[in-house]
Amino acid sequence: MRVGIGYDIHPLTDGRPLVLGGVVVPYPRGLRGHSDADVLTHALIDAMLGAAALGTIGGHFPDGDPRFAGVSSLVLLDETRRLVEDAGYRVVNVDTVIIAQEPRLQAHLGPMARTLAGRLGLDAGCVGVKATSPEGLGALGRVEGIAAQAVVLLEDRPGGISRRPAAVRGARATPGTRAHRPGPPR
């Protein structure tokens, strides 16, 4: 099993829809970014890539690449799932938190969890989506942007073909040592 953590933050701006977890949230401002700037999905992508030791979201989907201009982050999540599965892993569960002073998100958390779960091939009960307020503190408290964090648990994919070397695939720690499970060669 492997664990990854992801974080993302984007500034709020006029003239864009607010997309979080693949769900359009009614609000007069959206997030500025190269893609749809979905901070929740971006944090999840980075957590998945980190858990599988596959790099970062910026390495796979650079913001200077015109192919990703305005793209739905759910498309990036689909590609990330493929990369993780090709590396021999599958997502077991996800826990996330959105940090936003505004808007209030409680009514949208269930649809976000179901959307993300569907893209990952998981039961909605395996995807936690929460929201919290920064209580007026800092840039997020001044409603300058929105941030998100995600934690992901991966396990070896049952029956999957791992690109990791055979000697490493079954590595187990012995007393006084730690198992080393590197990601695929680049």
2-157: in CATH 3.30.1330.50 = yes
pTM for this entry = 0.85
The helix or strand, by DSSP H or E, that contains position 129, with its residue range, turns out to be: strand 127-132
Q: Can you give the pLDDT at residue 157?
A: 84
User: Which residue's entry shows tokens 């049952």?
Assistant: 158
- For residue 26, the SS3 value is coil
Ranges of the chain with pLDDT below 70: 159-186
Q: Can you give the pLDDT at residue 164?
A: 53
Angle between helices 109-120 and 73-86 (to 10 degrees): 40
Q: Can you give the pLDDT at residue 162?
A: 54
Looking at residue 160, its amino acid is G
φ/ψ of residue 3, rounded to 5: -120, 140
